[in-house]
Amino acid sequence: MSSTSIINLPNQQTARMPKNHYLNSGYGLKSWALTLDHKRIAILYLLTTLFFFCIGGLMAALMRLELLTPAGDLVASDTYNKLFSIHGIIMVFFFLVPIAPAVLGNFLIPIMIGAKDVAFPKLNLLSYYIFLIGGFFELYSIIWGGVDTGWTFTTPLSTHYVNTNVISAAMGIFIAGFSSILTGLNFVVTIHRLRAPGMTWFRLPLFIWSYYATAIIFILATPVIAITMVLIAMERVFGIGVFDPALGGDPILFQHLFWFYSHPAVYVMILPGMGVMSEVVGCFSRKRVFGYTAVAFSSVAIAVFSFFVWAHHMFIMGISNYSALVFSLFSMLVAIPSAIKVFNWSATMYKGSITFETPMLYAFSFIGLFTIGGLTGVMLASLGMDIHMTETYFVVAHFHYVMVGGMVSAVMCGLHFWWPKITGRMYPEQLGKLAASTLFIGFNLTFFPQFILGYLGMPRRYHAYPAEFQVLNVMSTAGASILAIGYLLPAMYFLWSLKYGAIAGSNPWQATGLEWQIQSPPLKDNFEEIPVVDFEAYDYEWLANKTRHEVTNVG
């Protein structure tokens, strides 16, 4: 072990993969398709969501190529509209919302709280299949002609004016929504009922607190989008006049319903990332996360406040000026818990013993990009400023800083951090660092110019744009190609590592969580016997003691 790294691998000459683990507990399609093991379900989710990420990414690549020139010359207007609609729908509902909860959450929550599985394993498998069915609906909409409503399904455009597969796309979201609700329910019950003896609420890793907050949002907000999607389909099929002004409906009502889900959903996408950050920053600083209680409660505060800010997407839509005031104020308040988290992670590094492995690099990039994304959110929440900035590329840049710069960084961070636990093998560290840096550079080059474009007034969802915006668009497209390399690289070395990666051993990062005290990959039932927790979370002194007294020649 070098002095600049905490990686602690077993001797590669003698080390072998554990004899029994969840990956070899059964072979064949049936053992995967009908598995009730939360870890295998997590893997299924991982493969599915990554497949959707590839589709969404491909759409993004085509869009960036189109925007290389001001004229709409690569694809037709309708095609471009389908590209950004599919990109949005897939990335939001079939990648960002499920990836962190259903993949990392499914894999880690039971292990972290010392349980053998989630509370309802069959429900867990059912939610995967529901998600898959929703996904098939979405694929059907894409393959049989696409959908061009934008991911926001604005009425009356989506109900009366477009002739694409709106109903199947809406039904896909409707169905996938049930998967979210069931997953949320499962997590809440699991965290309440299945904690190991001694695992009190304030001994839980902060990861669990964020996922708990996420699950609450899942349960409370998702039904609203489901209802909204059904209303859209009914308005298209039966012509009921809920949203259509010609029939006495109110198109603004749709905006309220849609954003009542979709704003909390934004926090569904970012809260799990915050959970990952707390684990990783603590581990690579060898320290307990600064102000555990504040970080834990800030997750809950975000979940609560997130339900009272939806109309900040509607400041220019002719809602009452006074209600705009209230929503602006609440939007300012929801920024506070996020600010607390960022400061607490930074303060965690104070007097730490910091090393710079790949997950930590992603954590740095998360903290920086999320801060930029969050503060531009404050700009947008400021009423008078929002008028000029909303519906421009400024908004596009803002939410990509939060969603891609923040959440995708966090997902990459989490995948690298727990890859040894999931597969039992290490990814190549140097390549990992290269990929993390590539992503950071590519990301900024892609999305920073979009802030400037937005302030200049370039509207979003434009297939063709005035020539004076070209330079910044070319920069953005160039950045996107670097970004693509940043994604392809990990895809390749992760695959490579499955066979050739160094054997990780149970605790390569010398981290404190319960998941690191068991073998990698874990047993089918996680623990040989349910652990009794008699230590606080992130107690690195306890861990150091334990390691010192451990008999080193295992097996």
Partner 1 sequence: MHYISPVLWQFLEKWLGNSPLFPPEGSAMSVHVDVFFLFLLLVEIVGVTIVTLMVVTFTILYRKERHPVATQIEGSTLLEATWTLIPLAVFLVCFAWGALLYFRIYDPPTNAMNIYIVGKQWMWKAEHPGGQHEIDALHIPIDRPVQLTMISQDVFHSFSIPAFRIKREVIPGRYSTVWFEATKPGVYHLFCTQYCGTDHSAMVGWVYAMKPEDYRAWTQGSTSGSSLAQNGERLFASLGCHSCHTGQESARGPDLAGLYGSKVRLADGTYVTANDAYLRRSILTPGAQVVAGHSAIMPTYQGQVSEEGVIDLVQFIKSLNSNYRIKQGATAPELEPGQAGTPGTVPAEPAAQAQPGNRAGSAHTTPGTVK
Residues 135-154 that bind partner 1 (CB under 8 A): 148, 150, 152, 154
Per CB under 8 A, the list member of 19, 30, 318, 550 interacting with partner 1 is 318
Does 525 bind partner 1 (CB under 8 A)? Our answer is no
Measured from the Cβ of residue 468, the count of other Cβ atoms closer than 10 Å reads 10
Per CB under 8 A, the list member of 144, 145, 468, 534 interacting with partner 1 is 468
Per CB under 8 A, the list member of 211, 364, 401, 427 interacting with partner 1 is 364
Inter-helix orientation angle 121-143/166-193, to 10°: 160
Stretch that binds partner 1, among 18-26, 369-377, 399-407, 523-531 (CB under 8 A): 369-377
CB distance 214 to 272 below 8 Å: yes
Subset of residues 178 to 237 that bind partner 1, contact rule: CB under 8 A: none
- Written as one letter, the residue type at 307 is F
CB distance 419 to 276 below 8 Å: no
For partner 1, the closer of residues 105 and 205 by Cβ is 205
* Nearest residue to 527 via CA among 83, 196, 164, 158: 196
Does 6 bind partner 1 (CB under 8 A)? Our answer is yes
Chain centroid offset of residue 445 CA: 21
Does 323 bind partner 1 (CB under 8 A)? Our answer is no
Q: Long-range contacts of range 297-300, CB-CB < 8 Å, 24 or more positions apart?
A: 297/337, 298/337, 298/338, 298/340, 298/341, 299/206, 299/209, 299/210, 299/212, 299/213, 299/271, 299/274, 299/275, 299/337, 300/209, 300/212, 300/213
Subset of residues 45 to 104 that bind partner 1, contact rule: CB under 8 A: 72, 77-78, 81
CA distance 124 to 106: 9
Per CB under 8 A, the list member of 47, 237, 317, 495 interacting with partner 1 is 317
Does 466 bind partner 1 (CB under 8 A)? Our answer is yes
- Burial class (CB within 10 angstroms; exposed 0-12, middle 13-18, buried 19+) of 500: exposed
Per CB under 8 A, the list member of 245, 485, 500, 546 interacting with partner 1 is 245
Subset of residues 483 to 502 that bind partner 1, contact rule: CB under 8 A: none
Per CB under 8 A, the list member of 388, 485, 495, 500 interacting with partner 1 is 388
For partner 1, the closer of residues 190 and 344 by Cβ is 344
CA distance 302 to 268: 10
Per CB under 8 A, the list member of 379, 431, 475, 523 interacting with partner 1 is 379
Does 431 bind partner 1 (CB under 8 A)? Our answer is no
In the complex, least distance from residue 356 CB atom to partner 1, rounded to whole angstroms: 8
Does 343 bind partner 1 (CB under 8 A)? Our answer is yes
Bridge partners (DSSP) listed for residue 392 = 459
Does 401 bind partner 1 (CB under 8 A)? Our answer is no
From residue 270 to residue 309, what is the string marking binding to partner 1 with x (rule CB under 8 A)? ---------------xxxx-xxxxx---------------
